[in-house]
A and B are shown apart, each in its own frame.
Chain A
Amino acid sequence: MSKAIIKVENLFHSYMQGTPFEKEVLHGLSFEVYHGEKLAIVGPTQSGKSTLLQYFNAIFIPKKGRVIVDEQDTKDSRLNLKELRRKVAMLFQHPDSQLFKETVADDIAFGLKNMNFPEEVIEITIKKALATVGLDSNEFFYRYIFSLSGGEKKKVAIAGILALNPEILILDDPTAGLDPKGRVDFLNSIKFLHDKLGLTTIFVSSNMNDVVELADRVMILVDGKIEMIDIPENIFIKREKLLSYGLTLPSVVELVDELIKSGINVDEKIINIDQLEESLIKILNSS
Chain B
Amino acid sequence: MELYKNTIFGFYREGDSLIHKIDPRIKIILLIVIIIFISFIRTFSGIVFIGLFLLLIIKLSNSSFFYILKGLKPVLPIILLILIFQIIFYIGEPGKILFQWNFIKISVLGIKVSCFMMLKAILIYFISSIFFLTTEMISFTDAMERLILPLQKIKFPSHEIVMVGVIAFRFVPTLVEELERLMKAQIARGADLDRGNLIVRTIKLSGLLIPLFISAYQRAEDLVLAMESRCYRGGEGRTRRIAKKLTILDFTSFIFTVLFFSLTFLTIRYFRLL
- The answer to the question of A59 belonging to the interface, with a C-beta cut-off of 8 Å to chain B, is yes
Q: Given A20-B13, A96-B215, are A85 and B182 also a contact pair (CB < 8 Å)? A: no
The residues of B that contact A98 with a CB separation of less than 8 Å are 185, 188
Extra inter-chain contacts (9) besides given A98-B188, A100-B186, A100-B207, CB under 8 Å: A15-B2, A16-B6, A21-B13, A57-B188, A60-B1, A97-B181, A100-B211, A114-B189, A114-B191
A18–B187 alpha-carbon span in the complex (Å): 26
Q: Which 10 A-B pairs have the closest CB atoms?
A: A114-B190, A111-B189, A100-B211, A15-B5, A98-B185, A90-B188, A97-B181, A115-B190, A82-B190, A59-B1
B5 engages A16 (CB within 8 Å):
yes
Interface size range of chain A in the complex? 20 to 34
- The answer to the question of B146 belonging to the interface, with a C-beta cut-off of 8 Å to chain A, is no
Q: Which positions 116-131 of chain B face chain A at CB distance < 8 Å?
A: none
The residues of A that contact B181 with a CB separation of less than 8 Å are 92, 94, 97
A92 engages B188 (CB within 8 Å):
yes
The residues of B that contact A57 with a CB separation of less than 8 Å are 188
The residues of A that contact B215 with a CB separation of less than 8 Å are 96-97
> What secondary structure prevails in chain B residues at the interface with A?
helix
CB of B132, distance to nearest CB on chain A (Å): 14
Task: Scan A76-114; emit 1 where CB is below 8 A from any B CB, else 0.
Answer: 000000100110011010101110100000000011001
A15–B2 alpha-carbon span in the complex (Å): 9
- The answer to the question of B142 belonging to the interface, with a C-beta cut-off of 8 Å to chain A, is no
- The answer to the question of B178 belonging to the interface, with a C-beta cut-off of 8 Å to chain A, is yes
- The answer to the question of A224 belonging to the interface, with a C-beta cut-off of 8 Å to chain B, is no
CB of A73, distance to nearest CB on chain B (Å): 18
Q: Given A15-B2, A15-B5, A15-B6, are A111 and B185 also a contact pair (CB < 8 Å)? A: no
Q: Which residue of A15, A19, A60, A111 contacts B190 across the interface (Cβ within 8 Å)? A: A111
Q: Which residue of B11, B182, B192, B211 contacts A21 across the interface (Cβ within 8 Å)? A: B11
Chain A, Cβ-Cβ closest to B6: A16
Q: Which residue of A97, A111, A115 contacts B182 across the interface (Cβ within 8 Å)? A: A97
A57–B1 alpha-carbon span in the complex (Å): 12
Q: Given A85-B188, A115-B190, A164-B189, are A19 and B1 also a contact pair (CB < 8 Å)? A: no
- The answer to the question of B151 belonging to the interface, with a C-beta cut-off of 8 Å to chain A, is no
The residues of B that contact A94 with a CB separation of less than 8 Å are 181
The residues of B that contact A96 with a CB separation of less than 8 Å are 215
CB of A135, distance to nearest CB on chain B (Å): 18
- The answer to the question of A36 belonging to the interface, with a C-beta cut-off of 8 Å to chain B, is no
- The answer to the question of A161 belonging to the interface, with a C-beta cut-off of 8 Å to chain B, is yes
- The answer to the question of B8 belonging to the interface, with a C-beta cut-off of 8 Å to chain A, is yes
Chain B, Cβ-Cβ closest to A111: B189
- The answer to the question of B101 belonging to the interface, with a C-beta cut-off of 8 Å to chain A, is no
Chain A, Cβ-Cβ closest to B66: A18
The residues of A that contact B8 with a CB separation of less than 8 Å are 19
A259–B147 alpha-carbon span in the complex (Å): 66
A161–B13 alpha-carbon span in the complex (Å): 40
A90–B181 alpha-carbon span in the complex (Å): 12
Chain A, Cβ-Cβ closest to B195: A81
Q: Which residue of A19, A21, A110 contacts B189 across the interface (Cβ within 8 Å)? A: A110
Task: Scan B1-41; emit 1 where CB is below 8 A from any A CB, else 0.
Answer: 11001101001010000000000000000000000000000
The residues of B that contact A59 with a CB separation of less than 8 Å are 1, 184, 187-188
- The answer to the question of B269 belonging to the interface, with a C-beta cut-off of 8 Å to chain A, is no
A21–B15 alpha-carbon span in the complex (Å): 13
The residues of B that contact A160 with a CB separation of less than 8 Å are 189
A18–B69 alpha-carbon span in the complex (Å): 12
Q: Given A15-B2, A20-B67, are A100 and B208 also a contact pair (CB < 8 Å)? A: yes
CB of A21, distance to nearest CB on chain B (Å): 7
CB of A279, distance to nearest CB on chain B (Å): 43
A98–B181 alpha-carbon span in the complex (Å): 8
The residues of A that contact B13 with a CB separation of less than 8 Å are 20-21
B70 engages A100 (CB within 8 Å):
no
The residues of A that contact B267 with a CB separation of less than 8 Å are none
Chain A, Cβ-Cβ closest to B191: A114
Chain A, Cβ-Cβ closest to B71: A19
CB of B191, distance to nearest CB on chain A (Å): 5
Q: Sample 23 A-B pairs with CB under 8 A, ordered by A number.
A: A15-B6, A16-B6, A18-B70, A19-B67, A54-B1, A57-B188, A82-B190, A82-B192, A85-B187, A85-B188, A86-B190, A94-B181, A97-B182, A100-B185, A100-B186, A100-B210, A110-B186, A114-B189, A114-B191, A115-B190, A160-B189, A161-B188, A161-B189
Chain A, Cβ-Cβ closest to B13: A20
- The answer to the question of B152 belonging to the interface, with a C-beta cut-off of 8 Å to chain A, is no
Task: Scan B186-229; emit 1 where CB is below 8 A from any A CB, else 0.
Answer: 11111110000000000000011011000100000000000000
B189 engages A85 (CB within 8 Å):
yes
